[in-house]
Chains A and B, each alone.
Chain A
Amino acid sequence: MTERPSVLIPIQVLKGESIPDGVPKLLADANVVLLGYHVIPEQTAPGQARMQFEERATARMDELENLFENAGATVERRLVFTHKAQQTINRISHDEDCLAVLIPDTVAEMDDVLVAVRGAVGIDRLARVVDGVFSGSEATVTLYHVAREGESDADAQTLLDGLADRLTDNGFDEDRIETRVEREQDPVDAIIDATVDFDALVMGESDPTLATFVFGLPADQVADQFLGPVFVVQREQPETEE
């Protein structure tokens, strides 16, 4: 049994950002949370922007909503005027219980999907995204893990097999699952190198560390380099948040 996973698509609705070709089809089996947002400087009250731009933004949101609904997805839409894009994206992702955020990019043929598995933590949500989005398609998913120092190949393989089993238990076609273990110094570079042969990427959201402050989030680094859509699976949100 496959659920429709909620996937958040943040769009800067008044900046002429559009949905790249192939993305609506890619999300045909998902529950699309379409977040149209408009960032305004601090000197401006968000309400001021709303008075002026609401009509234009709503019309644009109607178009985008149709695009996804015609492809077969269910759509929740939110339109937000904000000073801080990241705060809004996080809030909506939490509100709508989104499993993943999609960083959209053009996709022509959906044949090969790379699924980067970091570890056992959060693997449940990863499985739900892969299963929900891709089980109805023809695409082959490659479960991919970059082994850390001191981690044996057997351990890594067990991790990936565990995920593969979950998918097949849920009815995912076994022939469309492959696994691959890599050893390289830096996981982010390894993932970027590996994506060359793939049409889409599913990866986890990493914990904020010092490095993410310096170099940006790994997901963003990868998305910058990879010419295809990236699903960033969201961490489980703690119930009470400041």
Chain B
Amino acid sequence: MSDPAAGDEPVGENIAGEAPDPEPESVTDETTVYENDVELERTIGLVGGLAIGIGTMIGAGIFVFPGLAATEAGPAAALSFAIGGVIALLVALPTSELATAMPRSGGGYYFVSRSIGTSYGAIVGLGLWLGLVFASAFYLVGLGHYIVAVLAEVGVSLSGLPVPPHVLLGLVFAVALTALSVGGTENTAKLQNVIVIVLLAILTGFLTYGVLDAAGVFGRESAPTEFFSQGQLPVLTTAALVFTSYLGFAQVATVAGEIKKPSRNLPLAMVGSVIVVTVFYVVTIFVATSSFGADRLGEFGETAMVEVARDLLGLPGAVLILFAGLLATFSSANASILSASRSVYALSRDALLPRWASRINLRYGTPHIALGMAGGPIFVLVATDQVEILAEVASFLHLVLYALICVALLMLRRRDPAWYDPDFRIPGYPVVPILGALASAGLIVFMNRASIMIGAAIMAGSYLWFRYYAADVELKGDV
């Protein structure tokens, strides 16, 4: 196995006088070993890794975006999803290589801080935390829409409230999920695995029927529409919007320190989850647009898939998809809150955030402060109810990270420091990381101005925080 310490030990202190935690001595298939014979057990297997990746991603692409994407790009939204998937794959491959060389908590943040430099690390690390916060808020608004739709289905309508009902429900779940994570039961990971399997089963059945129907097997007319009904440029802007559906694979890397047999399971989990969800997304959009036509689909908004299911399978179909949508948005939000908390831990370990931010409470053994630093801002963001902005800012912050991950790979391969010894080497070097970096940066260009401004402001704020709080900390290895 590789030596995880990126060359030199991190040095320096932040303004609170805290130094980065020393690097571990070695990494095995089953443990991370620190000095004094202290070991950290790796407990997440391949299935667990795939469940984190797929479980985080599948919520948004299928259950929130189809309506929005169809409005903007027409049936060509399927192409937007495919483009997103290809870009995600171009980044997932370099991320996999780096993760097998440095299987540590913090994922992309860790790679960038160790290879490009501490300031870059701080920007993407804080960006990863806040990016996950934006993503969770986005999933929770989606969850709110699904609950409202479920209630409407049983004849309960929440009107006369000072806030839109889906926002209220999103807020309730923001609090509930944070509380659940703090006081949590032990079986959250098992629950996540079950949810993902149930979801994939429901979707496979539903989409198979949908594809057969669209092909005319059941003798119905499918809605005829022109593929590029909105022109070709919207395909790219829509790809930028829906890229939020592909943020999950990097979440696998944030728990890289806990994955068993990292050199095998990390690449399989990351690349595998991207491929699986891309297929599901593209087929979903195809089915959705051929059953209704893009325009009508757009009118249904966030819960458009429920109407598609109702059209195809009647009430049982609608109920099934509502149920699946609840599971999916719930699991995405939950996984993102946990990843955000892991990011806070990684930053605090490296003295870029105060050490107390990753403290564990003695009662539950959970990091209540880090979880609160995820849940608090999520609550505020859910209240804004800006689905598209939330999604795009989340994507923006992740895309910056992704571009830098690709740059980190290029730097490490060129300089080839002695400690860099990945077990998995990507095919297609240097084309894949160069394309990955360019595509990630390029996607940002197609976003809303407001999203770009907010994202840039967060990056600037992150840099200022680093200069103020931890300017003396040096995490970069010998590159």
Contact = CB atoms under 8 A, between A and B. Distances in A.
Interface of A: 39-52, 54, 57-58, 77-84, 87-88, 91
Query: For the complex, would chain B's binding face be called helix, strand, loop or mixed by DSSP majority?
Result: mixed
Contact of A48 (B41, B43, B181, B358): B358
A83 B48 CA distance: 13
Contacts of B43: 82-84, 87
A41 B184 contact: yes
Given A40-B360, A46-B257, A79 B186 contact: no
A43 B184 contact: yes
B461 to A, nearest CB: 25
Nearest to A52: B360
B37 A44 contact: no
Contact of A46 (B36, B40, B341, B366): B40
Max chain A CB contacts within 10 Å: which of B37, B182, B338? B37
Contact of B365 (A49, A50, A57, A91): A49
B30 A43 contact: no
Contacts of B189: 42
B345 A84 contact: no
Contacts of B41: 46, 80-84, 87-88, 91
Contact of B342 (A45, A87, A91): A45
Contact of B366 (A41, A57, A77): A41
With most chain A CB atoms within 10 A of its CB, the pick from B30, B31, B41 is B41
A83 B41 CA distance: 7
A81 B39 contact: yes
A58 B258 contact: no
Contacts of A88: 41
B384 interface: no
Interface string B368-406: 000100000000000000000000000000000000000
A47 B345 contact: yes
Contact of B345 (A48, A58, A77): A48
Nearest to B104: A47
A51 to B, nearest CB: 6
Contacts, number: 97
A80 B36 CA distance: 11
Contacts of B359: 52
B311 interface: no
B367 A58 contact: no
B34 interface: yes
Contacts of A48: 345, 349, 358, 360, 367
Contacts of B186: 41-42
Contact of A77 (B32, B37, B188): B37
Interface in B33-65: 34, 36-41, 43
Interface string B332-349: 000000100110010001
A49 B371 CA distance: 15
A47 B370 CA distance: 14
A1 B345 CA distance: 52
Contacts of A82: 40-41, 43
Contacts of A52: 359-360
B43 to A, nearest CB: 4
A91 B355 CA distance: 31
A39 B364 CA distance: 11
B36 A81 contact: no
A45 B38 contact: no
Interface string B17-41: 0000100000000111010111111
A77 B36 CA distance: 10
Nearest to A49: B360
B349 A44 contact: no
Given A47-B32, A47-B349, A49-B360, A40 B365 contact: yes
A43 B341 contact: yes
22 contacts: A41-B184, A41-B188, A41-B364, A42-B188, A42-B189, A43-B184, A44-B365, A44-B366, A45-B105, A46-B258, A47-B345, A48-B345, A48-B360, A50-B34, A51-B21, A51-B355, A51-B358, A52-B359, A58-B38, A80-B31, A81-B40, A82-B40
A44 B40 CA distance: 12
A79 B37 contact: yes
Nearest to B358: A48
Interface string B352-366: 000100111000111
Contacts of B341: 43
A84 B38 CA distance: 16
- List 4 A-B pairs, minimum CB-CB distance, nearest first: A82-B41, A46-B40, A83-B43, A80-B39
A77 B37 CA distance: 8
Nearest to B364: A41
Contacts of A47: 21, 32, 40, 105, 257, 345, 349
Nearest to A82: B41
Given A43-B182, A45-B255, A84-B43, 17 more contacts: A41-B364, A42-B184, A43-B366, A44-B365, A45-B105, A46-B258, A47-B345, A48-B345, A48-B360, A54-B34, A80-B38, A80-B39, A81-B40, A82-B41, A82-B43, A83-B258, A91-B31
A43 B188 contact: yes
Interface in B308-342: 338, 341-342
A226 B189 CA distance: 35
Nearest to B370: A48
Contacts of B371: 43
Among B36, B39, B355, B366, which residue has the most Cβ atoms of chain A within 10 A?
B39
A91 B43 CA distance: 11
Contacts of A49: 360, 365
Contacts of A51: 21, 349, 355, 358
* Residue of A40, A45, A54 most packed against chain B (CB within 10 A): A45
A43 B345 contact: no
A53 B355 CA distance: 13
A43 B37 contact: no
Contacts of B360: 40, 44, 48-49, 52
Contacts of A77: 37
A134 to B, nearest CB: 29
Contacts of A44: 360, 365-367
Given A48-B360, A51-B358, A80-B39, A91 B181 contact: no
The listed residue with most B CB atoms (<10 A of its CB), out of A44, A78, A80, A84, is: A44
